Structure 1
C-alpha cells in the first residue's frame, strides 16, 4: 500500500489543502530527488532496478512522477542506493503554500 496516497486523501478530506494538484507537485519533487540521488550515487536506472529487484521501466515511472511506490518499493530503492529510507524524502516541499484560507 502506498502511504502517500492515504495521507494526501486526508489532506483533501479535511480541506487542509486546496486540490489534488498538491499530490502531483509532491510526486514531482520526490521524482526529482530520486534523480539527484541516482546521479550522486553514479548509478544507471538499470543498476537501481537490478539492485532493487524490479525492472527499469517501473523505476523509470517513479523517476518521472508517474508511479506511486509502495513502502516495500521505497525500502528496496533505499537499499539499492545504500541510503536510509528517509533520505528519499529529503527535499523541500512547502505544504503551507497549498493550505486553504479560512
Structure 2
C-alpha cells in the first residue's frame, strides 16, 4: 500500500478509536465539526485525505491534542528520499 493511503487509514482508525472511547457517535462529531456523517465515515476509513484544518476539527470535537491522532506505530512509515 502506498505511504499516504496507509497513513490515512491509520489516522482514520485512530479517530474512530478515540470517538468510540469517548462514547461519541458519528452524528455527535457531525454536530461538533459541521461535517456530515458520510464524510466523517470516509475519513475514519482512510478514504479521504485529511487537511490540517480537518485534523484540528477532529481533535477539537474529540477533545484531544492533535498529536493523539498520531498515536500509532509511526516507525513503519518510512519515507524514501
Question: The TM-score by the shorter chain falls in which range?
Answer: 0.7 to 0.9
Please provide the CA RMSD for this pair: 1.8
Unaligned runs of 5+ in 1: 1-19
CA distance in 1, matches of 2:54, 2:6: 20
Instruction: Give yes or no for the alignment of 1:30 onto 2:11.
Output: yes
- Written as runs of structure 1 = structure 2, the 5 A alignment for 1:28-67 is 28-67=9-48
Paired residues in the alignment total: 80
1:22-71 CA-partner distances (Å, limit 9, x unpaired): 22211121111111111111100110111112111111110011111211
**Following TM superposition, where does structure 1 have runs of at least 4 consecutive aligned residues deviating by more than 2 angstroms?**
none
2:62 is matched with: 81
SS of the residue corresponding to residue 88 of structure 1 reads helix
TM-score in terms of structure 2 length = 0.85
Do the aligned residues in 2 keep the contact of 1:50 with 1:56 (CA within 8 Å)?
A: no
Do the aligned residues in 2 keep the contact of 1:41 with 1:81 (CA within 8 Å)?
A: yes
SS of the residue corresponding to residue 72 of structure 2 reads coil
